[in-house]
Amino acid sequence: MENKLEKLLHGKKVEILEKWEDTILSSFSPDAYHIFKKQKDPFANPIGHKVRTGLAELYDVLCEPSNKEILTPDLTQLIKMRAVQQVSAADAVSFIFKLKGIVRKELLKKGMAELYIEWLAFDARIDAAALVIFDMFMASKEQVYQVRVNEFQHGRHMITGSICPSALVRRNNQEAIAAEAGDAPDGQNVPVINDTCGVKPQVLQF
């Protein structure tokens, strides 16, 4: 059953999300902020769109204590976006903690100060989410490194001209067939060209 704080979190969702979005978007220049905030077409404004949908998804998770494990594809996209921007790791994930201040300010007006047990529970959820978000951030960073390595491997084959990628694919296939037939691999360290190094769907757990 919904407690009093959760009821108010739902009721004030629009106002809180609006302010929360600002904590990320205002880190851009005023011109960029203006465009990222106002342009509602997701394709003309991918950053604004990812901030909006990612935070809305996370907000729902935080306001819904009954859900123990929730897939958060939009939040994952938001973190991926932050992971490739020129900001420190702290800057990139600090938005989660800023929610505490926004929610307090919004709800203190409603005379909710005495519900400290509910506050503590909500804070704990934010803290738990912060840890998961930092993991997601690191996963995204590692993914960039992997993309870079994969590209380098391609480049290396091309530059040395020693192994045609086509021949390499053939060799990989032969090895896969051999492995299926139970033969031991030949021990050569052959890079897998088509490794897409996808990040697994991120899950928020409490």
Partner 1 sequence: MAIPKAAQLGVSVVREPSLMTGSIPKKDWMDVPAIFKEGNFCYPAKKSMVEYHKFPNPREWSPDQEDWKLPDGWEDIILNGLKERLDKFRSLKIFMDICVRCGACADKCHFFLGTGDPKNMPVLRAELLRSVYRNDFTTAGKLLGKLAGGRPMTVGVLKEWFMYSYQCTECRRCSVFCPYGIDTAEITMMMRELLHLVGVGTNWILEPAANSNRTGNHMGLQPHTLKENVEYLCDDIETITGIRITPTWNRKGAEILFITPSADVFAEPGIYTAMGYLLLFEHIGLDYTWSTYSSEGGNFGLFTNNEMMKKLNAKMYAESKRLGVKWILGGECGHMWRVLHQYMDTMNGPADHLEVPKSPITGTVFENAASTKMVHISEFTADLIKNNKLKLDPMRNAHRIPTYHDSCNPARAMGLLDEPRYILDHVVPKWYEMPENTIREKTFCCGSGTGLNTGEIMELRMRSGLPRANAVKHVVDKFNVNMLSCVCAIDRATLSALMEYWNPTVGVCGLSEMVGNALIMDGEKERETGLRFEPLEGMEG
Residue 88 binding partner 1, by CB under 8 A: yes
Q: How far apart are CA 24 and CA 94, in angstroms?
A: 9
Among 66, 188, 189, 196, binds partner 1 (CB under 8 A): 196
Whole-Å CA distances, 34 to 27, 48, 58: 12, 10, 24
Tell the smallest beta-carbon distance from residue 66 to partner 1 (Å): 26
> What is the contact mask toward partner 1 in residues 12 to 51, using x (rule: CB under 8 A)?
--------------xxxxxxxxxxx-xx-xxxxxxx-xx-
Residue 77 binding partner 1, by CB under 8 A: yes
Closest CA to 33 of 41, 45, 25: 25
Site for partner 1 in 102-131 (CB under 8 A): none
What is the residue whose two structure tokens read 């790791």? 89
Q: How many helices (H) and strands (E) does the chain have?
A: 9, 2
Burial class from Cβ neighbours inside 10 Å (0-12, 13-18, 19+) for residue 80 reads: buried
| Residue (166 or 189) nearer to partner 1, CB | 166
Residue 198 binding partner 1, by CB under 8 A: yes
Near partner 1 by CB under 8 A, which window of 64-72, 114-122, 124-132, 154-162? 154-162
Q: How far apart are CA 126 and CA 5, in angstroms?
A: 14
Residues that bind partner 1 (CB under 8 A): 26-36, 38-39, 41-47, 49-50, 77, 80-81, 84-88, 90-91, 94, 143-144, 146-148, 150-152, 154-155, 157-159, 161, 164-167, 169-170, 173, 193-194, 196-199
